[in-house]
């Protein structure tokens, strides 16, 4: 989490733990949208400035809270067992990627939404870039030769947390139906190649 060689000062480390613990508690109680930076500071017993020094912004805090789940997911599709991980045919990996991503969004989506940096560069956070590259690679392997980069962009758009949560929570679409639609979409994209 902190890649730097120089160690963290003891008070800083203690405050970070305090803040993360308090943040998880607050999210448990009020949901991610109900967490405010002021309340968090108060609950953790530190000043508001400390919260922002640690995490930069509200979105940064949410990204930190997500990073475990994110790293786990990344590990699975990059190094884990097929069909999500390497070893399966690309179309099957694409299908598995979407299915797993939908499940992931249903579990962590609220946090993921809160972690979206408002502004343009929400698509340039490392995790999003990695997902995009992964999709692009699978498309290439599956024989999609016409602009796989943009095609990966389109597929990423389909899997956005905001849309998925909206479909499930507002329109009561069953997750399995989302997965089926994803299978259909990605099959047609690849088969047309």
Interaction site with DNA (CB under 7 A): 7-12, 14-15, 35-39, 45-50, 52-54, 56-59
Q: Examine residue 150 and tell whether it contacts a second copy (CB under 8 A).
A: yes
- Closer Cβ to a second copy, 71 or 180, answer by number: 180
The binder of 160, among DNA, a second copy, none, by C-beta within 5 to 8 A per type, is a second copy
Residue 148 beta carbon to DNA: minimum distance, rounded to whole angstroms: 34
- Closer Cβ to a second copy, 88 or 165, answer by number: 165
* Total binding residues toward a second copy, as defined by CB under 8 A: 33
Residue 189 beta carbon to a second copy: minimum distance, rounded to whole angstroms: 5
Question: Left (φ > 0), alpha (ψ -120 to 50) or beta: where does 81 sit?
Answer: beta
Residue 37 beta carbon to DNA: minimum distance, rounded to whole angstroms: 4
Q: What is the 3-state secondary structure (H, E, C) of the chain?
A: CCCCCCCCCHHHHHHHHHHHHHHHHHHHHHCHHHCCHHHHHHHHCCCHHHHHHHHCCHHHHHHHHHHHHHHHHHHHHHHCCCCCCECECHHHHHHHHHHHHHHHHHHHHHHHHHHCCCCHHHHHCHHHHHHHHHHHHHHHHCCCCCCHHHHHHHHHHHCCHHHHHHHHHCCCCCHHHHHHHHHHHHHHHHHCC
Q: Examine residue 133 and tell whether it contacts a second copy (CB under 8 A).
A: no
Q: Examine residue 138 and tell whether it contacts a second copy (CB under 8 A).
A: no
Residue 26 beta carbon to DNA: minimum distance, rounded to whole angstroms: 11
Q: Examine residue 166 and tell whether it contacts a second copy (CB under 8 A).
A: yes
The binder of 72, among DNA, a second copy, none, by C-beta within 5 to 8 A per type, is none
Within its chain, how far is the Cα of 129 from the centroid?
A: 11
| CA distance linking residue 42 with residue 74, whole number of Å | 34
* Residue in 122, 126, 133, 176 binding a second copy, rule: CB under 8 A: 122
- Closer Cβ to DNA, 14 or 163, answer by number: 14
């Amino acid at each position: 989490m902190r890649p730097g060689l120089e160690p963290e000062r003891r008070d800083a480390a203690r405050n970070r733990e305090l803040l993360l613990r308090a943040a998880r508690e607050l999210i448990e109680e009020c949901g991610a949208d109900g967490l405010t930076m002021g309340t968090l500071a108060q609950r953790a017993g530190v000043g508001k400035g400390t919260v922002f020094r640690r995490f930069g912004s509200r979105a940064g805090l949410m990204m930190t809270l997500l990073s475990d789940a994110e790293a786990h997911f990344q590990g699975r599709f990059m190094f884990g067992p097929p069909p999500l991980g390497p070893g399966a045919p690309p179309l099957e990996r694409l299908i598995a990627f979407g299915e797993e991503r939908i499940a992931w969004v249903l579990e962590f989506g609220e946090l993921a939404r809160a972690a979206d940096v408002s502004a343009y560069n929400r698509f340039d956070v490392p995790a999003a870039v990695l997902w995009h590259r992964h999709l692009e690679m699978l498309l290439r392997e599956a024989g999609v030769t016409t602009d796989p980069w943009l095609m990966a962009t389109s597929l990423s758009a389909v899997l956005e947390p905001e849309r998925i949560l909206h479909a499930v929570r507002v329109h009561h679409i069953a997750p399995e139906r989302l997965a089926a639609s994803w299978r259909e979409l990605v099959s047609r994209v690849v088969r047309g190649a």
